[in-house]
Structure 1
Amino acid sequence: MFALLSDDLRFYFEIGGYVMPPLVVATFILWFAIGYRFAALRRGSARSARVLLQRNAKRVRHAPRGLIERAVLRGLEIAEQNPPNLRRWLDDAFAEYETTTKRFHKLILTIVTVAPLLGLLGTVSGMIETFDSLADMSLFSQSGGIAGGISQALFTTQMGLAVAIPGLVVGGLLDRKALHLRTELAQVKDLICAEHEEAKTA
């Protein structure tokens, strides 16, 4: 089975030309980044931020399972220390979580943008080979001739789009989730500060 897979990979690399190695590397990096973001953007509990704060304020606490739960616990720990400027402390503490929501965003966007361009480069290279074969009147050559040039042109275009389109769709969904989490982080800070002020004036 490994030998069959190796033969298939060799065939794809040969038919795709010099554009294929960067496209394959870009594919692995893209899906590693997407997998990391998917794991990092876990919210945790489905309960609202207000409910999570109320439950944890009553010491009904458990190990956090996601980013919002970790932020709630961290925010309450800081509030219990009663610092002079709570909002500034929360901003500093939550900066790590906000950075986590943005990690690998630009990398995914870059790969999604570059992959079709690499495919287009392979298309141009394949068409050049095709026209060279036509000019030499050689239907077959060591590099594949007309058939090889057309195959490379079509295959690299297909590969570039196959990398970019799923990455664009999944990356867009993760960006929306990250934006929603950043909004919730801001809400957690507002709620903690409001409850802290109420406790001081009570």
Structure 2
Amino acid sequence: MIETFLSGIELMGKGGFMMYPIFLASIIAFAIIIERIIFFKKSKENPDDILQAIKDLVNNKNTRSLDSRQSNEGPVSRMLTVGLQAQKDPLWKLEEKLAVNGREEIQGLRKNLRGLEVIATISPLMGLLGTVMGMVKAFNKVAQYKGQVDPSLLAGGIWEALLTTAAGLAIAIPIVIMLNYFERKVESITILLEKYGQYLVHHLHEEQGESTSDNSRITSKPGASSELTEQRV
């Protein structure tokens, strides 16, 4: 383990100056990947539980099922909590609040992913730049000695120059894999946000429609106004 670490340090030193920013980029990328893994693990939700919570709210008027989910850090639960708090608002206002909250949740899901994209793009470029700089240095020696250079010395210079390209690719490839994984997670959660947001709006709209029709029946009932007048008198 220690020997591997020391050999890695030695290779980084042989690779030249560009190995240091590549190494720094790898540390930043590793920190972002760990943070995103923890975040998505905490954001994991059971769609069946979410669906049941909405049904309990609409059918049984049981708000505890959604209230109890406030302790859950999932984005869908947070969005449903916003919908629950605004269920008595007009339908257009409820949809607007859900849309704003959904955009905020998606933005949170994509946090730091742009940074990973940048690192995955520039790491091979930094490695290539380091290789070019190393090749320029190696062939500059050939020019200084007017071509009278030991081929093994030239090969050693080229070998060291290629280390930066290898390092850049070694960092970029796993980052691209993890980035693709995170993008799929964002896509799946976004679909859940849209699905259950529309489901909640649909059922609350039906509930508001039923309550409105009930009120209209009461007020339009024959003799209702006269009965109220008689009671007042």
Q: Deviations over 1:47-90 (max 9, x none)?
A: 344234335663232421433333333332332xx123111111
**C-alpha separation in 2, matches of 1:13 and 1:115:** 14
- Is 2:164 the partner of 1:156? yes
2: CA distance between counterparts of 1:78 and 1:16?
A: 59
**For the Cα contact (< 8 Å) 1:83–1:89, is it kept in 2?**
no
**Identity, % of aligned positions:** 26
In the alignment, is the contact (CA less than 8 A) between 2:83 and 2:94 conserved in 1?
no
1:108 Cα deviation after fit = 1.0
Find the counterpart in structure 2 of residue 103 from structure 1: 111
Structure 2 unaligned segments of length 5 or more: list them: 211-233
> In 2 relative to 1, CA 40–13 (structure 1 residues): closer, same or farther, beyond 3 Å?
same
Distance 1:38 1:54, change over 3 A: farther
Matched residue SS, 1:44: coil
User: CA deviation digits over 1:88-120, x for unaligned, max 9?
Assistant: 111223332111112112211111111111111
From 183, 188, 193, the equivalent of 2:191 is 183
Q: Is the 1:78–1:90 Cα contact (8 Å) retained in structure 2?
A: no
Distance 1:52 1:35 in 2: 31
How far residue 145 of structure 1 moved from its aligned partner, in angstroms, is 4.8
Distance 1:113 1:70 in 2: 34
Distance 1:139 1:39 in 2: 53
Q: Which amino acid aligns with 1:53?
A: I
CA distance in 2, matches of 1:155, 1:114: 16
Conserved 8 A contact 1:133-1:145: no
Provide the aligned C-alpha RMSD in A: 2.6
Q: Counterpart of 2:47?
A: 47
Distance in 2 of aligned mates of 1:75 and 1:145: 70
1:83 aligns with 2:89: yes
What secondary structure does 1:41 align onto? helix
Q: Given the superposition, is the C-alpha separation of residues 145 and 96 from structure 1 closer, same or farther in structure 2, using an over 3 Å criterion?
A: same
Paired positions, count = 196
Return the letter of the residue paired with 1:45. Answer: E
CA distance in 2, matches of 1:108, 1:156: 19
